[in-house]
A and B are shown apart, each in its own frame.
Chain A
């Protein structure tokens, strides 16, 4: 994943984008590779700035577009979080600042998702990487992410890294769910382990 973000280049082999070697693309700059990738890292950043900045930072050049920011927030199910804030958008997200507040774990994660969505929708990122994007989300949030989120990012290459196979089922990667299950290797064992506890495997 760090390779894909081009923090490092591979020692061997190559990653190609539409046929072009990734290593030959510029990482930074207006037309750089980083602009085309959006990610929710497992240890996403909690910016102790306003709630608005936390989302708008997904695509700096479009940060003035309040409607697009609000849309991304709604899609990530973070609108209720923002609705609860005493000063709405401009509330600083840290108790260290006057009129600031602290969010719960899941609320922070929803903002991080909104940030990535804003990068895709407003910033035009074509690759979306989600590393354990629902680890802290409640049941509804988790379901929504995979129903709604993946819907709105259609046309974007989305890579989900997850330990939860209920998630992977909905994402088609190197093989479909059925293929992998039939192959009966690590994947199937792990999947059954999780499903068993629901008594449905």
Chain B
């Protein structure tokens, strides 16, 4: 599974074709254990079949044709195997659906809503219906295959009986010896086995060939993704930002879709600046952030850092210089210190550094709430302390603040679940952290937020609308302009009487 981790970005996890194939690679790994086995076994059964044919031919040349009547059986056996595999292939997506339904019915996060809505039975029924539908298709296929195989064996049986009767007739007329009749009798029976084996071995060969094909596809996919991700002219990530980060006419559509989510975005983020990105739900704010972290590559246009194309950096090296807190933050059910520390693993063991990161994220009060401080096991899974969503968010903020001097500090709606005093504190410290980022390495701080009370503190505010930049400027400039930003700011401020 190293190959999977070798594919940079997350784009591939979102392609259903990719999911299908991965699922099959996972379930059919056994075929890959030794791809030479089916080849040698197939050869062996070909050789023994040929031997039988030669022996039969030595009795009477026409008898060499006896295997022909056995051919349908071999084909039917092989076909049955292959068609079953095709069916499983086709069912991969529905199997993922089954898994999601099962999760809804059994996993704690969904449980309370599912219960309140009384969805339990509906979900179980859907699961049952889908399962039955898939099962029916499998049974139907198995029945059809069995019928085919039986018919084919009947053809062989008739041929075999005919050959035996004919050779007995020949023996009676003295044309061949009684021993030859026995030979036909036993060779025919043996052929029965051999043809079945030949069929299976060929099917096995086909399966292996396909599994290898998928693996080749995956490694091509990984190589291609890497080639796209790492063009030959590799450049080191600058230690200090001197100019800043620039988006040049960047457009983007999620892989496998044709709806552009960003249109020709031109944007320059000067070194040391604090930049806020605002805009309606679905405007493309998170997408912009994902491109900067290189979870995806722009469909066209380019992003450059001090004039160097982002793609010429080693992706790991670039990410090592980014601190990011995302909207859909992860809940790592580890010991608190680790759950925060994974933001920068080298400092994970140092309680002082982890504590400092929490402080930068205005989340140090969290430690007092935890029964064993930073050593508290989090999450119910391991009998630890379950946190509220706001508390999980604080953990995530601490994680984002683990690196002391990143080139980019990226916060995507970091305060959505926080209470008022925390929000206030966070923003004051956040401005401090931003200054630190700027002083140390000329780093850029990017904040995505719907809370204009924070946004107005930024040096530069970007208003995104439908994937394009609508307005750009400082709070004062944008207010003076009296455009969209000013309108939205007033709309929200009117909430504070």
Q: Which residues of A contact B (CB under 8 A)?
A: 2, 5, 7, 28, 32, 34-35, 37-39, 41-45, 47-49, 57-58, 60, 80-81, 84, 86, 94-98, 100-107, 109-110, 119, 132, 135-143, 163-167, 169, 177, 189-191, 193-195, 197-198, 200-201
Contact size range, B? 35 or more
Q: Which of B118, B257, B492 contacts A101 (CB 8 A)?
A: B257
In the complex with contacts A104-B286, A143-B491, A44-B423 CB distance below 8 A: no
Structural contact, A34 and B115, CB atoms closer than 8 A: yes
Residues of B within 8 A of A34 (CB): 115-118
B365 CB to closest chain A CB (Å) equals 15
Contact A45 B115 (CB under 8 A): no
**Interface of B toward A, CB cutoff 8 Å:** 13-17, 19, 93, 96-97, 100, 104, 109-110, 112-119, 122, 254, 256-257, 259, 279-283, 286, 327-328, 389-390, 413, 416-421, 423-424, 427, 450, 452-454, 456, 488, 491-493, 495-497
Docked Cα-Cα span, A104 to B412, in Å, equals 12
- Minimum Cβ distance to chain B for residue A83 (Å): 11
Give the complex CA separation of A163 and B426 in angstroms.
14
- Complexed CA–CA distance, A197 and B453 (Å): 6
Minimum CB–CB distance from A64 to chain B (whole Å) comes to 13
Q: Are B417 and A194 in contact (CB under 8 A)?
A: no
- A5 to nearest B CB, angstroms? 6
Distance of A161 Cα from B184 Cα, bound (Å): 87
Cβ of B420 and Cβ of A60 under 8 Å apart?
A: no
Q: Are B117 and A57 within 8 A (Cβ)?
A: yes
Assess the A142–B259 pair: CB atoms within 8 A: no
Are A106 and B281 touching (Cβ within 8 A)?
A: yes
| Residues of the A chain whose Cβ atoms lie less than 8 Å from the Cβ of B16 | 95-98, 100
Q: Given A60-B117, A143-B491, A193-B421, is A2 in contact with B112 using a C-beta cutoff of 8 Å?
A: yes
Is there an interface contact between B96 and A96, defined as CB atoms closer than 8 Å?
yes
A97 proximity list for chain B (CB < 8 A): 16, 93, 96-97
A45 CB contact (under 8 Å) in B14, B113, B259, B421? B113
B281 touches A45 (CB 8 A): no
Q: With A105-B327, A105-B328 in contact, is A190–B421 under 8 Å at CB?
A: yes
Q: Which residues of B contact A163 (CB under 8 A)?
A: 390, 417-420, 423
Chain B residues with CB under 8 Å of A140's CB are 280, 488, 491
A132 and B496 contact, CB distance less than 8 A: no
Task: Please name the residue on chain B nearest to A30 by beta carbon.
Answer: B118
> Please, which residue of chain B has its CB at the minimum distance from the CB of A40?
B113
A197 in contact with B450 (CB, 8 Å):
no
> Given A98-B93, A137-B450, list of 16 further CB < 8 A pairs?
A34-B116, A35-B118, A39-B113, A42-B417, A44-B113, A45-B104, A45-B113, A45-B114, A105-B286, A109-B281, A135-B417, A138-B280, A139-B492, A141-B280, A163-B419, A200-B493
